[in-house]
Amino acid sequence: MSRIVLGVAGGIAAYKACLLLRRFTEAGHDVRVVPTASALEFVGATTWAALSGHPVSTSVFDEADAVPHVRIGREADLVVVAPATADLLARAVTGRADDLLTNVLLTAGCPVVMAPAMHTEMWSHPATQANVATLRSRGVVVLRPAEGRLTGADSGPGRLPEPEDIEATCLAVLAQADAAGAMAAQDLRGLNVVISAGGTREALDPVRYVGNFSSGLMGIALARAAVQRGADVTLVGANLHAEPPAGVRVVEVVSTADLAAAMAELAPSADVVVMAAAPADYTPAAPSDTKLKKSGDAGLTVEFRQTTDVLAGLAARRPVGQIVVGFAAETARDEAELIELGTAKLARKGCQLLVLNNVSDGAVFGAGENEVLLIAPVGSRGRAAGTKTTVAHAILHAAIAERSAE
């Protein structure tokens, strides 16, 4: 596993860094916590030491014989600062080295991720925005903060992203060097990306439905990756099993008809459309207005009709320059059969990129990891495996490559 340095600056969101630390350590990573002196006003050194299993210091003079201000940064595979306050961002930009954390930032040769947390006015101030731009120009991944309740009664952008979102991004950076570069470069800035996720439900009666096993986690990961790369992201969520990431506009739908209507409204203005949702292929022809009752030992016969083919419709109506990415969950004996099924589906649907899953054993649904094949009309775009956020970045890379080739 990886050696991670968790820097903690002095903000009320420091308590959330404890949850991030626990997520890292439970995944098997070796984590060294380097707080600022102000951070210890919010969460004490004893807590950080107990959770990480390492001693905690803010000073370059502790354990001076081990030269920690150089060694810690040099040995790290990743440095993540959460929360990164306005003060910490400013000190990092100017190259200050007046405590252990800023020294670590100067000596780290690994990727650096910063998760800002501050009041809205501080985040939107031109000085902070200039500092963020400077850090990104140096290759630092600066996450987009969440919107929501802040320290007091006020709400707005500046809230620390949830620990699971920070962790997912960090793991993607560790697994995929070009993901860090894409986030630092904000390579999707100015693009409108519409993503669908989850599984639709088709009502049998007021209390029962026909659905599928899709959790929406892959679509959520795509939304997370796209927003951290600078895109304006709308997530059309069908019965999602997890919370959407920060910075994403969410449109909730239930049925395939709802999904088709929402995508038809949103897609025309999108630069990239990703149909990661699993819409039902069939819906009851005549759903009951009242609850269906048992009648002795008699069975139940339900007539189904086909639903709208959402992906094919989007591909047929796509404006010039738009990229439509489809997903296909197939049951195949081997990779050759999977590619054969996917190639036929790609031609039938008319999209520019198809993401292929072999779901023969059902392992993909609800899992944190995924393995996919990417195919395009001109041939294979390769494969991607790892956490769903890592796979999401690979899919976005392929989509942008297709867009550049248009």
Name the CA radius of gyration of the chain, rounded.
Answer: 24
How would you classify the pairing of strands 146-149 and 155-159? antiparallel
Separation of alpha carbons 37 and 82, rounded Å = 14
**Alpha-carbon dihedral 363, 385, 183, 405, rounded to 10 degrees:** -110
> b or e along 249-280 (b: 16 or more beta carbons within 10 Å of the residue's beta carbon)?
eebebbbbbbbbebbeebbeebbbbbbbbbbb
**Is 103 in the active site?**
no
- Is the CB of residue 170 less than 8 Å from the CB of residue 134? no
Separation of alpha carbons 333 and 328, rounded Å = 15
CA 213 to chain centre: 20
Alpha-carbon distances, residue 43 vs 22, 35, 37 (angstroms): 14, 9, 10
- Is the CB of residue 35 less than 8 Å from the CB of residue 42? no
- Is the CB of residue 262 less than 8 Å from the CB of residue 200? no
- Is the CB of residue 16 less than 8 Å from the CB of residue 160? yes
* DSSP run (H or E) holding 343: helix 335-349
Catalytic residue (one of 103, 131, 212, 358): 212
Q: If you write DSSP's letter for every residue of 172-241 in order, what string do you get?
A: HHHH-HHHHHHHHHTTTTT-EEEEEEEB--EESSSS-EE-----SHHHHHHHHHHHHTT-EEEEEEES-S
How would you classify the pairing of strands 209-210 and 202-203? antiparallel
Residues annotated as part of the active site: 212
